Amino acid sequence: MSAPVREKLELGRVGESVKRVDAISKVTGEFAYASDLIAAGMLWGHTVRSPHSHARIVEIDISQALTMAGVHAVLTHADVPGAKTYGLEFADQPVLGIDRVRYFGEPVALVAAEHPEQARRAAEKVVVTYEPLEPVVDPERATEQDPIHGQNPTAGHGFREDPRPNVLRSIVVRHGDPDAIGDVSVSGVYEIGIQDQAFLGPESGLAVPDGEGGVDVYVATQWLHVDRDQVAPCLGLEKERVRIHLAGVGGAFGGREDLSMQIHGAMLALHTDRPVKMVYTREESFVGHVHRHPAKIWMEHRASREGKLVCVRARILLDGGAYASSSAAVTSNAAAFACGPYKVENALIESTCVYSNNPPCGAMRGFGAVQGCFAHEAQMDRLAAELAIDPVELRLLNALETGDTMPMGQKIRGSLPVAEVIKRAAALPVPGPEELPRDPIRLPGGAGNTTRGEGVQRGVGFAVGFKNVCYSEGFDDACSARVRLRPGAGEELNAEVQCAAAEVGQGVTNVILQVARTELDTEDVALAPGSTDGVGSAGSASASRLTWMAAGAVRLACRDALAEFQDTGREVDLERTYHHSRTFPLDPESGQVTGEGVHVAYICAAMRVVAEVDVELGLTRVVWIGAAQDVGKAINPQAVFGQIEGGAAQGLGLALMEEIQTRDGLITNASFTDYLIPTTLDMPPIDSELIEEPDPDAPYGAKGVGEPPTVVSTAAVVSALRAASGRELARVPVRSDDLAGL
Amino acid sequence: MRVQLTVNGERKETEVWEGESLLFALRERLGLPGSKNACEQGECGSCSVLLDGTMVCACLVLAAQADGHHVVTVEGLAQDGQLHRVQEAFAETGAVQCGFCTPGLVVATADLLEAKPDPSEDEIREALSGNLCRCTGYAKIFDAVRLAAGR
């Protein structure tokens, strides 16, 4: 059972559980997702992708494809009108492969045709001659192999200099005395496989030429303005001539931070002077977007006999794939949160991300904190066992709190109720053991009917974790909102709010409306469509930041608009930009922050999990999850519980089943047949509790909610599996062989 | 080729290419994009429709196979401007986030409650196990099914 929701109001204010504004159109099928769009005279675009993970492009022959029925355009890198490369932080990724491809599925050519099948068939007739190169696929060897980029794209950007080949970013954090020793020491080596966001709505969009050389792109994305800033230079157009509009988004989870079809669709539309729709297949989606970084983590914890942490030493190796994407920030997060939400006075942390020819990696919910949490929580359980201290007590003994200093030198301000989330999660009542015999669906193996319960053992696990809210290291990820205010019917004000915040399913639309209703004291609030046209950037639907930032921007704009309206009595139309407190970059040599803080704020969560393991067959059943999460303030409690439940499911997926598998850099399981995500039969009931300790800096005290459940649940589920099976389980997803000891 | 079918009670006729799925015909030719294209290989359930009263993945049925048959899509569940009780329940309980799985889950739940008006917890889990959702963790979807069953 999920936690009961509070009173529901159709038109709610801050703090009330409010039905989603798009709920009705989504249950009736009327809501228009990016893949649902059509336009008169529309063509279908298709992408020709590399079958190699690393190869030299010798020749591209489009002559045959051009003659195919229904084909209107076949384009290659030679047709890219402007800059040939783009990227979120570093413009290192070719719009279309030029002389080399560096990952399996890298786009090489584009086709537009009247029917999608014609486009697919023509794509097969684009003849690309490749000369395969040895792929860099072992991250531990990457720094000794030939560089996959002639010039390292991230060199010279203020990061620590590292002369080794294929280093994307390497951070070394020295905190206190990294050689401090304790009474006891525990060590482990942990591995995390590649996880996919697996949002259900495939990458899609519609590009429409405006007849004057410009283009409108309607697309499922996470950050409209940064899409535009990447698209326009590649089209050789001024920014104003490229308008990006938010089309319905079928989930994101970080996978839509990088561009997908935006430049490609716009190129085809401008070339053919026709609207062009592109919809990825599921297979294409799996190869066409970035994934969560796989990692290998070496970790040592030194502690006193009483259980106080003395020193943590961690080495983290992340595989970034071929292009930089957001890997530099993921590398920094991995270092920042490697020790977990604990007081650690001495630490040595090395976090390195390498380039490779494995699938490209970038943003996914949890963003660098997930991998470390799996490792530090395994270590805390190991330390508890070594010291014969209760694992929950050990965590409480070391819990980080406001005023403590993080390994990068930041003193924690604001709210961070780590001890409280631990206590609240630990106090959630665990369901009692179930009797045998049972319906097979309530046993490990489930509907597969593999056991009557003979080899089934039960265990209870625990984990706590945290991460940052908003962007870090000196980046000012501001958010703008525009408010138009005029007298409405009767006494009420009529307001229209415009904000380019991407509604990706997380519920930011409701946050915006609830804030506006609260500030303007009116129910009569409409939300204008999200677009780069008419309002400034909202920043990304990332880093659990949009509740904080959009609430901040909308509140600021509403308050100023109301004051002006009350002053003049006339219609008001104004835009305001909200900035969070300033952050500062790291010193490249010491890994210490160069100002007050490297991060804006932190959010934490704890989970208690009950699991059963069939120790003979290595099959699992997660029985129950209890979660306690620090949210600052729940703007819409129903949506907050929904984020916790959904986030926990994604972490459970990484713990038990989700992994992109590769051979020589080629993805071998790009389908929902072979890449499994949790179903109704995998997800247990979840009891969640919210800890609302308002952050003094955050609007209404609301910090954010999306990521902590995903950060913690992988670690918590595996902790329960260890308790049930007695196995070490140092790698996720956990395999049956690991559980059965084979 | 030309196909004739009855969709949500209305007779429809359209030209299709022989290789087109029923899902493509519904979405791109008949103006009914409610059924969703999440995997197009029968794994996710987001295109669930009723074909002559039996639930199928519209992506696995050729449009040509539906010639002469009756199809009910998510767009056909509401009657006379009244939401189906399953649709109401999904909206109320917070079972919808990004919503891409919702049309399929709404159809699958309506189908389940038609066959089993008062399903047990296990029956709900088994009946909906062919419908993937990536946002909700299913907790509020179970709430919605129980709420709809109770009405």
In angstroms, the Cα distances linking A31 to A26, A690, B68, B96, B103 are 5, 31, 29, 12, 10
Instruction: Using a CB–CB cutoff of 8 Å, tell me whether B140 touches chain A.
Output: yes
Task: Give every strand in the sheet of A100-101, ordered side by side.
Answer: A100-101, A55-61, A127-132
What mean pLDDT do residues A673-694 have? 98
Work out the mean pLDDT of chain A and round it to a whole number. 96
Please answer yes or no on whether A33 and B106 come within 8 Å at the CB atom: no
pLDDT digits (tens, 9 = 90+) for A163-189: 999 999 999 999 999 999 999 999 999
Which residues of chain A does B93 touch, with a Cβ-Cβ cutoff of 8 Å? 5
User: d(Cα A5, Cα A690) in Å, to the nearest integer?
Assistant: 12
The pLDDT of residue A490: 79
Structure-block tokens of residue A591: 């890994």
pLDDT digits (tens, 9 = 90+) for A210-238: 999 999 999 999 999 999 999 999 999 99
pLDDT digits (tens, 9 = 90+) for A607-647: 999 999 999 999 999 999 999 999 999 999 999 999 999 99
Structure-block tokens of residue A457: 């053992």
Helix-strand-coil split of chain A, %, nearest 5: 25, 30, 45
Helix-strand-coil split of chain B, %, nearest 5: 40, 20, 45
User: d(Cα A612, Cα A304) in Å, to the nearest integer?
Assistant: 33
What mean pLDDT do residues A636-660 have? 98
Query: Nearest CA to CA, how far is B44 from chain A (Å)?
Result: 7
Whether the full predicted model's pTM is greater than 0.95, yes or no, is yes
Query: Nearest CA to CA, how far is A16 from chain B (Å)?
Result: 13
The ranges of chain B with pLDDT < 50 are: none
pLDDT digits (tens, 9 = 90+) for A370-415: 999 999 999 999 999 999 999 999 999 999 999 999 999 999 999 9
Please answer yes or no on whether B100 and A115 come within 8 Å at the CB atom: no
φ and ψ of A625, to 5 deg: -125, 130
pLDDT digits (tens, 9 = 90+) for A543-572: 999 999 999 999 999 999 999 999 999 999
Task: Give every strand in the sheet of A572-578, ordered side by side.
Answer: A525-527, A493-498, A479-487, A572-578
Closest CA to B141 of B91, B83, B98, B100: B91
Q: Which residue among A33, A442, A447 places its CB closest to the CB of B100?
A: A33
Closest CA to A646 of A252, A343, A184, A81: A252
Find the Cα–Cα–Cα–Cα dihedral A466, A470, A475, A480, rounded to 10°.
Answer: 180
CA-based end-to-end distance of chain A? 36
SS3 A317: strand
Which residue is it, tokens 């709610």?
Answer: A12
Cβ atoms of residues A279 and A219 within 8 Å: no
φ and ψ of A178, to 5 deg: -65, -10
What mean pLDDT do residues A35-52 have? 98
Which residues of chain B does A449 touch, with a Cβ-Cβ cutoff of 8 Å? none
Cβ atoms of residues A286 and A153 within 8 Å: no
User: d(Cα A363, Cα A351) in Å, to the nearest integer?
Assistant: 17
Please answer yes or no on whether A673 and B43 come within 8 Å at the CB atom: yes
Which residues of chain A does B91 touch, with a Cβ-Cβ cutoff of 8 Å? 19-20, 23-24, 26-27
As beta bridge partners, residue B82 has: B79
pLDDT band at A9 (very low <50, low <70, confident <90, very high): very low
User: d(Cα A729, Cα A382) in Å, to the nearest integer?
Assistant: 12
What mean pLDDT do residues A341-346 have? 98
SS3 A269: helix
Using DSSP bridges, classify how beta strands A686-691 and B10-15 pair: parallel, antiparallel or unpaired: unpaired
- State the DSSP code for A77: G
Could you give the percent of chain A with pLDDT greater than 90? 97
User: d(Cα A539, Cα A416) in Å, to the nearest integer?
Assistant: 24
The pLDDT of residue A11: 63
The pLDDT of residue A448: 87
Please answer yes or no on whether B139 and A8 come within 8 Å at the CB atom: no
Which residues of chain B does A281 touch, with a Cβ-Cβ cutoff of 8 Å? 40
Strands (E), A28-98: 43-49, 55-61, 71-75, 85-86, 93-94
Q: Testing the interface with A: which of B14, B37, B87, B147 to mutate, by most A Cβ within 10 A?
A: B37
Q: How many Cβ contacts (< 8 angstroms) between chains A and B?
A: 193
The pLDDT of residue A492: 84
Q: Which residue among B38, B124, B129 places its CB closest to the CB of A202?
A: B38
Query: Nearest CA to CA, how far is A462 from chain B (Å)?
Result: 19
Structure-block tokens of residue B30: 């008949």
In angstroms, the Cα distances linking A572 to A75, A488, A495, A550, A554 are 47, 13, 9, 20, 15
pLDDT at A6 over 70: no
Cβ partners under 8 Å of residue A266, min gap 6:
A207, A215, A217, A231, A235, A242
pLDDT band at A488 (very low <50, low <70, confident <90, very high): confident
Instruction: Using a CB–CB cutoff of 8 Å, tell me whether B74 touches chain A.
Output: yes
Q: Which residue among A439, A648, A683 places its CB closest to the CB of B122?
A: A439
pLDDT digits (tens, 9 = 90+) for A104-143: 999 999 999 999 999 999 999 999 999 999 999 999 999 9
Find the length of chain A. Answer: 742
